[in-house]
Amino acid sequence: MKTGCIILAGGAGKRMKSERPKVLAEVLCKPMLGWVLDAVGGFPFDGVAVVTGYRADLTDAYVMSRGESIVTYLQKEQKGTGDAVKSAEQMIRAMDCVCVLNGDAPFIDSDTIKASLEYHLEKKADVTVITAEISDPTGYGRIIRSDGEFSAIREQKDCSPEEAEISEVNSGAYWFDAARLMSMLPRLSTNNAAGEYYLTDCIELTKKCAAFKSANPEIVLGANTRKALYELNTIARNNIIEQHMANGVSFVALDGIVIGKDVKIGCDTTVMPNTVILGNTEIGCGCNIGANCHIENCKIADNVTLDNVQAYDSVIEENVKIGPFAQLRPGSVIRTGVKIGNFVEIKNSDIGMNTCAAHLTYIGDSDVGRGVNFGCGSITANYDGINKYRTKIGDHAFIGSNTNLIAPVEVGANATTAAGSTVTKNVPENALFVERGTTRVKENWEKNFKRKKK
Ligand code: UD1
Ligand code: CA
């Protein structure tokens, strides 16, 4: 049996008041469509399609960026969910069973997709709707049952006052028999309050419809407005933090803590307030992260302490201490035992084991050996206004305070640069490099200077 998945992502989401398609609105800094695609990735579909429409260029670019084999179909005009599914006709024809998902309901999960297919097959249904009971059903399509039998989905706009009381709602996720779906789509009409082709009208076109009630009501939650989006963020944030607690991560207080959906954290790590951890970040065991850290796409090993650190696309090995007030820009590798102190910025550099940059240092495009010491205020001048060059520093070199290393330049192992030097030539191993003007001290200068001026 071949199964396909069609994700509806063409709507503008006018109520979101955005210039971007609604499905790209983010929950914990990841587009809602990304959440749905993650769930879809956990089920062995034979084909996955995304229906695009409003600002299809942006949706296409996001889908492409995931590097998965997903096809997109353009729905030229947004004439409703029924019409959107029709745009993916090619996919439907190639499959036996088709799962349709809303791109704006991020909490669907692969277990629900799997369990609902089993139910759909067991019931030999033409269409199975995934439903849930929620406390505030406003805005969702209601599940109508006559004599206990599921018979229709009524949209909010079309509900009678009694129907509006129903708390079982349509999640916007369905399984269809592909051939039956093909025969139903041309029969949908726009005879409703919104004047759209409702996919939900398929229910009334067949007696063989089933409703799979999910045990987890969150799977239905969607966002049509910024307020609803904020509510989804709140739910996701709490769920994720609770999951980390279950895995052995400590939180002293949750204020300002945001952890993205794909972040992994080891046991006995503590995350302190105002810390945001996003992207594909992995953090080891026994770390102290925060307060006030922002970490994106970093690999952090065990026993690392980060205090008021910003770190992007970087690797930090074990037993490293960074902060307060330090920044790791993309491409930095911080080796075991390194210490980085306040007002230090590192970019695209490899910092060797046990090296120390305790204060006010900029290290860019550099390869630094082990046990190097950077004095206060030392910097690499890696950019001449046109090109960027690398700096190489050998093991146990001592970079004196306020040294300027003008790249490309090399400092050999065990070499020392005198404080205040501007290094424009390679320094051999074990050498002392000094570059200073002649020192002059003029005695009684102030008195003489003033007399001349008079
Ligand atoms: C839809 C369901 C409703 C359900 C709810 C769950 C219908 C008619 N109603 O309502 O029963 O409770 O989802 O969240 O299906 N889209 C397109 N092209 C279009 C219109 C929409 O691709 O022409 C996409 C949207 O981008 C969105 C999804 O389809 O991702 C759902 O559309 P939306 O307008 O949000 O439907 P709801 O009013 O939420
Ligand atoms: Ca919606």
Q: In this structure, what CATH number is given to the domain that contains residue 151?
A: 3.90.550.10
Q: Do 298 and 396 share a domain, yes or no?
A: yes
Q: Do 152 and 260 share a domain, yes or no?
A: no
User: Strand, coil or helix: what is 116?
Assistant: helix
User: Strand, coil or helix: what is 385?
Assistant: coil
Distance 453 CA to ligand 1 centre (A): 83
Q: Is residue 445 part of a domain?
A: no
Q: Do 185 and 232 share a domain, yes or no?
A: no
- φ/ψ of residue 174, rounded to 5: -145, 155
Instruction: Out of 199, 220, 241, pick the residue that ends a domain.
Output: 220
Q: Do 51 and 12 share a domain, yes or no?
A: yes
Q: Is the pLDDT of residue 448 over 90?
A: no
Q: Is residue 403 part of a domain?
A: yes
Average pLDDT over residues 43-58: 98
Q: Do 169 and 107 share a domain, yes or no?
A: yes
Q: Does residue 169 have its Cβ closer than 6 Å to ligand 1?
A: yes
In angstroms, rounded to a whole number, what is the distance separating the alpha carbons of residues 144 and 151? 6
* Number of domains observed in the structure of the chain: 2
Q: Do 192 and 248 share a domain, yes or no?
A: no
Quick check: is 396 catalytic?
A: no
Domain of 146 in residue numbering reads as: 3-220
Q: What confidence score (pLDDT) does residue 30 get?
A: 97
Ligand 1, residue 10: give the atom nearest the CA.
22
Average pLDDT over residues 354-372: 98
Q: In this structure, what CATH number is given to the domain that contains residue 252?
A: 2.160.10.10
Residue appearing with tokens 């406390």: 135
Q: Do 267 and 129 share a domain, yes or no?
A: no
> Which among 93, 85, 38, 94 is positioned nearest to 63, based on CA atoms?
38
Q: Is residue 300 part of a domain?
A: yes
In angstroms, rounded to a whole number, what is the distance separating the alpha carbons of residues 356 and 69? 45
Q: Which residues, including other chains, have CB under 8 Å from residue 18's CB and lie 6 or more apart?
A: 25
- Could you report the per-residue pLDDT of 142-188, keeping only the tens digit for each? 999 988 899 999 999 999 999 999 999 999 999 999 999 999 999 99
Q: Is residue 37 part of a domain?
A: yes
Q: Do 9 and 137 share a domain, yes or no?
A: yes
Q: What is the dihedral of CA 408, 409, 413, 415, to 10 degrees?
A: -160
Q: Do 77 and 183 share a domain, yes or no?
A: yes
> Which among 344, 304, 307 is positioned nearest to 328, based on CA atoms?
344
Given its phi and psi angles, is residue 223 left (phi above 0), alpha (psi -120 to 50 degrees) or beta?
A: beta
Q: Is the pLDDT of residue 452 over 90?
A: no
Q: Is residue 439 part of a domain?
A: no
Q: Does residue 198 have its Cβ closer than 6 Å to ligand 1?
A: yes
Of 120, 244, 294, 359, which one is the catalytic site residue? 359
Average pLDDT over residues 345-365: 98
Q: What confidence score (pLDDT) does residue 216 get?
A: 93
Q: Do 290 and 189 share a domain, yes or no?
A: no
Band of the pLDDT at 131, cuts 50, 70, 90?
Answer: very high
Q: Do 102 and 129 share a domain, yes or no?
A: yes
Residue appearing with tokens 């002059």: 440
Average pLDDT taken over every residue of the chain = 97
pTM, entire model: 0.94
Q: Is residue 440 part of a domain?
A: no
Tell me which residue has its CA closest to atom 36 in ligand 1.
81
Distance 102 CA to ligand 1 centre (A): 6
Average pLDDT over residues 79-88: 98
Q: Do 201 and 238 share a domain, yes or no?
A: no
